[in-house]
Amino acid sequence: MIRVSIIGGSGYTGGELLRILSNHPQVEIDYITSRKLDGVPVTKVHKNLRGIEALEGLTFKNIPPEDIDSDFVFCATPHGVSMEIVPVLYERDIRIIDLSGDYRFEDIEVYERWYNRRHTGKLEGVYGLPEIYRESIRRGKLVANPGCFPTGAILLLAPLIKEGIIEERILIDSKTGVSGAGITPTDTTHFPNINENIIPYKVISHRHTPEIEKELKKLSTRDIKVFFTPHLVPVTRGILTTAHVFLQEERDREELLDIYRRFYRGEPFIRILQEDIPSLSGVRGSNFCDITLEVDRDGRVVLISAIDNLVKGASGQGVQNMNIMARFDEREGLYFGGLAP
């Protein structure tokens, strides 16, 4: 049994961490923090968790990080805030899973340029994509949980990049649910503005672009170039990613699917689909990533993945990383299907 705390637990990712961890047989929840909600029962904010025995009596606490003495801490804090908290926890030998972007980049200058802020909490973290960095995660003290778009995109492209059979230029289009914008309403996420609408945003300047690119470059011997555009769609949760790549030599669909099956052999949360197209309803609420592909007559490969942005794209992947670090069964607390009707 391990003791776990969540710093910044009032948002969507904090609520998903509570939902998953409250049913984890190896976890006892210590603290869930919030400066504004000190003393408020967590189920008053996360109403979907009412009646869960493990959460009875649990309230938000305005407790400084230096007073937390848990085995693991999840930082579900905004970009720029984690770097103020993580070093305090790190010095106290607490193992950390950070859900912000503060520790995803080895090159701090790239972070500062794309996140438009100075990085002050310089520590070396492990990039928390289990399917690629499992052994490093197992040994890690600080794990930087990947972004939601990078999770869907990197998992989608890694096998073909590693195989070295596609051209360097990669086009990626992602459709995301509104929960990806966070719990605070904005003009863009206001119901009349997003309902029956699709909104491209940060069309050539989304800060997940360099995160995707740097990870794909590590798998390649060539200079990969990523061109990424996200779109906001009128659904609550989920990311559907479509990537277009071009083969260097002729391969048929079955050969390419075999590459994916070999690459992800034994991976508990990757499903390679033979007949179906990935759908948001197929992964909603789950930690699965569904993948398939098609090949056209001119050597273009269309790759498609689906994840839940709040689970495999955030909190679920964080718990998967915790399981690896704690040497639990990786599926513990996470092995359930999506909420398809």
CATH code at 258?
A: 3.30.360.10
Q: Are residues 35 and 89 in the same domain?
A: yes
- CA dist list (Å): 111 to 4, 80, 120, 180: 28, 10, 11, 20
Whether 292 and 273 have beta carbons less than 8 Å apart is answered as: yes
Q: Is 319 domain-assigned?
A: no
Boundary residue ending a domain (107, 124, 141): 124
Both 105 and 216 in a single domain? no
CA dist 231 and 310 (Å) reads 17
In this structure, the answer to whether residues 89 and 154 fall within a common structural domain is: no
Same domain for 300 and 179?
A: yes
Q: Assess if residue 208 is contained within a domain.
A: yes
117 and 73 belong to one structural domain = yes
Q: Would 316 be classed as within a structural domain?
A: no
All residues at 6 or more sequence positions from 93 whose CB lies less than 8 Å from its CB, including other chains? 141
Give me the number of domains the chain comprises: 2
**Cross-strand partners of 142:** 96
Same domain, 184 and 295: yes
pLDDT in tens, the chain (341 residues): 999 999 999 999 999 999 999 999 999 999 999 999 999 999 999 999 999 999 999 999 999 999 999 999 999 999 999 999 999 999 999 999 999 999 999 999 999 999 999 999 889 999 999 999 999 999 999 999 999 999 999 999 999 999 999 999 999 999 999 998 888 888 888 888 889 999 999 999 999 999 999 999 999 988 999 999 999 999 999 999 999 999 999 999 999 999 999 999 999 999 999 999 999 999 999 999 999 999 998 999 999 999 999 999 999 999 999 999 999 999 999 999 998 77
> What secondary structure does DSSP assign to 69-119, as a single string?
--SEEEE---TTTHHHHHHHHHHTT-EEEE-SSTTS-SSHHHHHHHHTS--
107 with 213, same domain: the answer is no
Which CATH number do you get for residue 97? 3.40.50.720
Residue type, 151: T
Domain assignment of residue 328, yes or no: no
How confident is the prediction for the chain on average, in pLDDT?
96
Residues 68 and 199 in one domain: no
What local confidence, expressed as pLDDT, does residue 337 receive? 93
Answer whether residue 130 is part of any domain.
no
Domain match, 95 and 157 both: no
**Are 109 and 160 in a shared domain?**
no
Domain closes at, from 124, 139, 157: 124
- CB contact at 8 A, 131 and 267: yes
Neighbouring-strand partners of residue 227 = 171
From CA 203, how far away is CA 51, in angstroms rounded? 43
Residues 28 and 158 in one domain: no
So what's the pLDDT on residue 267? 98
Which run of H or E residues covers position 30?
Answer: strand 27-33
> What's the domain range around 16?
2-124
pTM above 0.95, yes or no: yes
Does a structural domain hold residue 83? Answer: yes
The pLDDT value recorded for residue 93 is 94
Per-residue pLDDT at 183? 84
197 CB-near residues (< 8 Å, 6+ apart): 234
Return the structure tokens found at 123: 């520590």
**106 shares its domain with 11:** yes
Q: Is residue 11 part of a domain?
A: yes
Gyration radius (Cα) of the chain, Å:
20
How many CA atoms within 13 Å lie on the side-chain side of 209?
20
182 in a domain, yes or no? Answer: yes
Residues sharing a CB contact under 8 Å with residue 266, sequence separation 6 or more, in sequence order: none
Residues that are catalytic = 148
